[in-house]
Structure 1
Amino acid sequence: MSSFRSKIKRRLERYIELDPDGIRYTVMKTILNVRKVTVDALYDILSKRFKVTHKKVASMVGYIHSKLGILHAHKQSYKTPIVYTLREEYVDLVKSVLNRSVKHPAVA
């Protein structure tokens, strides 16, 4: 594994470990399953199971995009929302981290 991928893996593991209620795990699992997501769509999914705000979801997606670097952001025009896509080269890495992490009671 390259040094860059191992850094991303460590950051992702830490990001999931610091998740007291399972929201981050659910966000990553959802992104892994749907591959393309907007903040609005993710908020709709998460708000059914967790007490979250739109701002909190946007913050999590922004962190995953900018600090973890595993998402690609695309904006069709200024009127459309940003669509985040899980980068293909990190699908296996995300799967392995999620499979090894402790599943939270709220997620299971």
Structure 2
Amino acid sequence: MDQWDQDPVHTPIYYWDEHWLEECAEEGTVVTNEQDEYIPKWVPDRQVQTWFELATFESIVEVLKAAGQPVTLQMVIIAVKYYDKRDAFLDYEEVKAVTDLWSVLTKVRNHLTE
């Protein structure tokens, strides 16, 4: 979670079906993480943990897509972070306002440092 908070674009996200993980456990091809959850042996980072069910992630994206406007990776990241902290959805216009504000603040910062 710390890696996601610091650099969400470069943080790997895995989707593992819980039934598949159970099968892997029977085959002995999993290890457990600090939360005593199964993760595949081939995952190099033992700090990987359960985060969202796929349906939750899909719902976050679908709320954004409902506006019929292009959805960017940055917008998905903002919406996922918001949901993670508040257990609530942001719609397209709310996320767009955040990205617009971020863009303006970045331009102001760049102007002040020139």
Give TM-score scaled by structure 2 length: 0.23
Bigger Cα Rg: 2
Q: Answer 1 or 2: higher relative contact order, Cα 8 Å, separation at least 6.
A: 1
Give TM-score scaled by structure 1 length: 0.24
